[in-house]
Chains A and B, each alone.
Chain A
């Protein structure tokens, strides 16, 4: 095969997995998939090595997807794989970290021979158990657990399996609908692969697979070779559920690989915030790739030089049967820990700490009197991202997660909930030469005639994002009822009729000495109301005369 043909085919495979992911979004039911983009899709060679993966909203699936297919081949048995088979699991340790993620793998046959595999993952709306939250004491309480098995056998869907899932989840139509959507998107990938193999007269994916993996490996190794050989440690303390959690990493750059070891990190928690290693690997790898090799596509070879380890039984290598439903909270914090170490080796590369985990909550609404509609409303929201060396942090934008928020108007159509406020939170970005991203204020309560349970999934209440290189910390998360009633950052809490939950989502931390900030940017921030006059004076030393001048300028309609 010529170099030009191989280049075209590599492009094509990436396009095929993007198409596969798009088909999933179009046919999925769960809001987490179709609105927020919590899904993955990939193509593999016959040995189970990942050749291409769609870029979706979830770095958390990066390595998990790469590791999953070999588990399927091993459990199913290579000799028994037949055309028309579809395999499935939601195993947190062999899939993508919690029971809510279903992974579906489909073998792709070409001219009667096994050519490769397609895999995809999506977060479904419910898996039974205690519901989506941190409250379970073990994975057994978190819902139904489907080991790696056949969803379809030579084209025939397993009716027994469907029946069992159907009777174990709260929203059976939606969950089963999503499982079919997963199978459908693999089929679309398979169809396109067959077309490509026909067009280029390929018998198998060996040649193109080697081309992709060799070029990716070489490009990644070139990047690593250009880095200083060094070791550094990073650490960060976060809220946890009842007790604070320490995340510790030791990062070493060798000539041909980078290792991250999480020895020293806190042990398993009693609540469902523990993280299977596969998810830890995904976010550690994601952080390294962003900093070192952002444009090299994810595949088996480009991921291989990143080795992530953690002691068994630590909160970042939780083993069965630890509860893991909210593994995203700690998983999303891992990049900040890795960056803490990396900053000591590669100065002026990584951002200051940010909000980290998504600021999600679920509201369970019921009428205060008599019978009426109950509703479950889940929302995704973001605090501020950390300032970068050279650029301010992003306001109210998810990092490291890449998912989207939902429109307030759409959320209010899903149940009797009112979101009274959703806007930027001034003065929450840590001061610095480059300012941390602003968090946001939210106010949310049940509509008239309803009361609610509010399931909180927040961190950074007691441990705000820390500044880097002289930058100040971001603002902490705040949560309370509008009548002053105390609320916790995590767990299910009652909200009476007529009350509102008042949230201040955390800001990102600043980067560099605030005294070095460009005065024009300070004035701009004041004019826009990103910072108050008080903060402009206190943090950046803006004079009263300057402040008065800005205020006049604003009311004349001039932009700073």
Chain B
């Protein structure tokens, strides 16, 4: 076993990506995901990359794994037979949601069903108040009787969520103790451990989701460890979590809900690592695949994180149509815009694109597999961005005639020819993504001017240049390995764990002793998790409190130094908050009390440090022999673009737009307004041509 040989594995919906790094070299492969036994694809991929690298699996020192299996189990409702035990009077919290409709004008709107039907939700007489005091004590005999009742239901997993348990977990713990005694084979998840935060709907739902996928994920992770050992890879296995850090396989099995969206989180870590290499502090990462696009803000080489996100959106990716999961997560927006997204013309005679997708069967019209409706890929083909004979390294032949027919049909009611309709379709999908990026930026108080975009995923390089024009972003980086970005990202992530607690405290009633103790307890909890993963590495504790003016509903995160956490005082908390508030919203509000709602400590090892980029040598101004007609949307006309294979570029070489830089996995489109420079690490660096 060699510690410098590490393998990253990302199980996605279609492909399982495997990356092996040893002694500065990297080998990767993509194999089809094997749903029935996902570990099979990993073993297959492992043997492939080991063969390429010329090593045996036994030499692998560490495996970092991320997966969509947890997400898919929630989306497809393939979880275990699960029950919820909750406070009397609150049986329906996960069903009543926010009591609102996420789509205002649909009279036939249907809300998503809760993960557990009502008959699998049980209540006990008990109550804790908003200060954590017990109003109604829990009677152990009643819990025993409940356990006896539940025996006949054959539940595999039980979630326990009690009102205000994030303040006082005693009743939840008593329930777990009784269940362990009476129903020893049943897995138990407590809300005070899975997600100890205020707001019962989010906390209960997160706990239920954890319980629901726990038997499945625990069994999978157990099998994976065994299979890897059988194949000789008896090394430690760690899991990527949704917050962008790494946890042990045991933690992952206990809190599998933390694995949700771990693949995209790896993508964000990948982009953050490129940012570090280039010394860039403001990054917009843009990941576009076949069905969705994901956009994430990365400041100071750290992806933006949030405490709640939504999975399994059931209605056109609409906000509110999924279920909230409150765990530390890398904050990104996901919209239904990918190469396979389909277009139509609506009642206002406007072109609309997505979220409906052609998928891989029948696929866009140009795949020639029977798809008749125009997809984004069809527009990209007609606009000259793709070469019909060299798509996916020539493995899929694209049919331009089919694209033209589909786009002619789209354009007919608008009096547009096929090319104009393709232009319209591409502009609409690019505008949708640009709008999502703008709204995401404003939600985070950011202005995208001054940001650099990092693009990866198969479809991103086709659209990133235009997106930059729309967003006023002047620099775009397309790194190498963009096709397996998430798996590479896993190998760049630190070991980390964030512990959080919801405790309300006004600065006018600031209790320094309580604050010091609370932050110390959170630091000990988070550090303990990380220490389980790495016995030696130095661990840094990062302190954050969420603050707002009393009366506001949205907190802003305020970072504390270790010294401020150990010697807390109200005046310095106020000064920190006011400085951050003013930078976000322009002005502070004087004379108002300030309160803290959530306390968080993230314990982390150091990130894999990025070697700074070598100096780029002076290169050639490349003028290619090959040319192709390429539509430039900013000019609204066809241009004559150079076609340059990426492999032919040496560090320092320049290519001026309009141009297409081609490789097997994708094509980088360089608009007329931009020029590209090849960097020593293989990245294509695309900048605005100043006129």
Contact = CB atoms under 8 A, between A and B. Distances in A.
B277 interface: no
B144 interface: no
Interface centre among A12, A180, A413 (most CB of B within 10 A): A413
B343 to A, nearest CB: 12
Contacts of B438: 15, 19, 192
B105 A15 contact: no
Nearest to B109: A394
A263 interface: no
B199 A409 contact: yes
Interface centre among A11, A125, A403 (most CB of B within 10 A): A11
A422 B90 contact: yes
Interface in A20-46: 22-23, 25-31, 34-35, 37
A207 to B, nearest CB: 16
A321 interface: no
Interface residues of B, number: 75
A10 interface: yes
Given A28-B552, A34-B553, A295-B347, A424 B89 contact: no
Contacts of A486: none
Interface stretch (A1-9, A97-105, A114-122, A474-482): A1-9
A423 B89 contact: yes
B130 A27 contact: no
Contacts of A5: 636
A interface residue count range (under 10 / 10 to 19 / 20 to 34 / 35 or more): 35 or more
A557 B199 contact: no
A422 B89 contact: yes
Interface stretch (B21-29, B94-102, B491-499, B611-619): B94-102
- Consensus secondary structure, chain B interface: loop
Interface centre among A192, A555, A557 (most CB of B within 10 A): A557
Given A4-B427, A177-B549, A294-B106, A407 B199 contact: yes
Contacts of B88: 421
A390 B108 contact: yes
Nearest to B551: A29
Given A7-B428, A398-B101, A557 B348 contact: no
Interface string A390-433: 11001111110011110111101100001011111000000000
A418 B129 contact: yes
Contact of A291 (B81, B93, B95, B107): B107
Interface string A49-79: 0000001010100000000000000000000
A297 B352 CA distance: 14
Contacts of B108: 388, 390-391
Given A8-B427, A351-B107, A555-B153, A398 B89 contact: no
A216 interface: yes
Nearest to B585: A27
A516 interface: no
A557 B552 contact: no
Contacts of B198: 407, 409-410, 413
A409 B130 contact: yes
B111 interface: yes
Contacts of B553: 25, 28, 31, 34-35
A418 B135 contact: yes
B117 interface: yes
Interface string B157-171: 000000110000000
Q: A-B pairs with the 5 shortest C-beta distances? A: A421-B89, A34-B553, A557-B153, A294-B105, A15-B435
17 contacts: A11-B431, A15-B438, A22-B443, A27-B552, A177-B551, A291-B107, A351-B107, A397-B100, A399-B101, A412-B130, A413-B130, A420-B127, A530-B118, A555-B153, A557-B81, A559-B119, A559-B120
Given A423-B90, A528-B119, 15 more contacts: A3-B424, A22-B443, A27-B585, A289-B105, A350-B107, A388-B108, A404-B99, A407-B198, A409-B130, A410-B198, A413-B130, A424-B96, A424-B118, A559-B117, A559-B119
